[in-house]
Amino acid sequence: MIIIVLFGPPGSGKGTQAQILAQRFHLMHISTGDLFRYNMKNNTPLGLEAKSYIEKGKLVPDELTTEMLKDELQRNSDQKGFILDGYPRTTSQAEALDHLLQELYNSDVDKTLALHVEDEALVKRILKRSIDSGRSDDGDENIIRNRIKEYYEKTEIVSEYYKNQNKLVEVKGEGNIEEITQALSHELEEILQSKD
């Protein structure tokens, strides 16, 4: 079982890279955003619970997010491995993930790949994305800068958590998509070789 965590601030291309890598290495891409949308759209018990928090303007508790992930991992236990995108976002989620992987697969996170992109490049990318996709939350520079700041404040601690376990690798997230994919693929190939 191969478990990769992909980190990256908004606009870093994390979602795009996760999809490419999942296809290239025959892994399953699990995005927390997709998990939320799936559970809420299908009115699953977890989705209804998440909705009740969101409708009150509250954050969905870590435990509930972890339950959704557990459900998804159990439903897809025949996979060769997973690329997690958007989880963990807090140290308590990282610890919960460790317990979950041990419980389900007697396994651990193999590596955390963190895409590093300069803030100004992120802002430009997101503003361009707002024109291409029509996402209203991508069109306001103040909101974008706040999201980037919030990302660093929250995930910096999670990065440290994996750095202390020698599992954090920073990858330059600037350049064309293929160059970034190559750098990430190199890291994944090393993991696959160590598992052989």
At 165, give phi and psi (nearest 5°): -100, 10
Looking at 57-140, list the stretches that DSSP marks H as alpha helix, in order from N- to C-terminal side: 62-75, 91-105, 119-133
* CATH number of the CATH domain containing 68: 3.40.50.300
Residue among 95, 90, 112 at smallest CA distance from 18: 112
Residues within the annotated binding site for AMP? 32, 37, 58-60, 86-89, 93, 135, 147
For residue 134, count other CB atoms closer than 10 A to its CB.
Answer: 9
The pTM (predicted TM-score) of the whole model is: 0.90
pLDDT for residue 158: 93
The pair of structure tokens assigned to 82 is: 């997973």
For residue 19, give its domain range.
Answer: 2-195
pLDDT for residue 150: 87
Residues within the annotated binding site for ATP? 11-16, 129, 175
- Residue 140, classified by CB atoms within 10 Å of its CB into exposed (0-12), middle (13-18) or buried (19+), is middle
Alpha-carbon distance of 93 to 63, in angstroms, equals: 8
pLDDT in tens, 13-55: 999 999 999 999 999 999 998 999 999 999 999 999 999 988 8
- Count CA atoms closer than 13 A to 117's CA, side-chain side: 25
Q: Report the relative pairing of strands 28-31 and 168-172 from DSSP bridges.
A: unpaired
Question: DSSP label at 3?
Answer: E
pLDDT for residue 137: 67
Residues of the chain where predicted confidence (pLDDT) is lower than 50: none
How many structural domains comprise the chain? 1
Residues within the annotated binding site? 11-16, 32, 37, 58-60, 86-89, 93, 129, 135, 147, 175
pLDDT for residue 56: 87
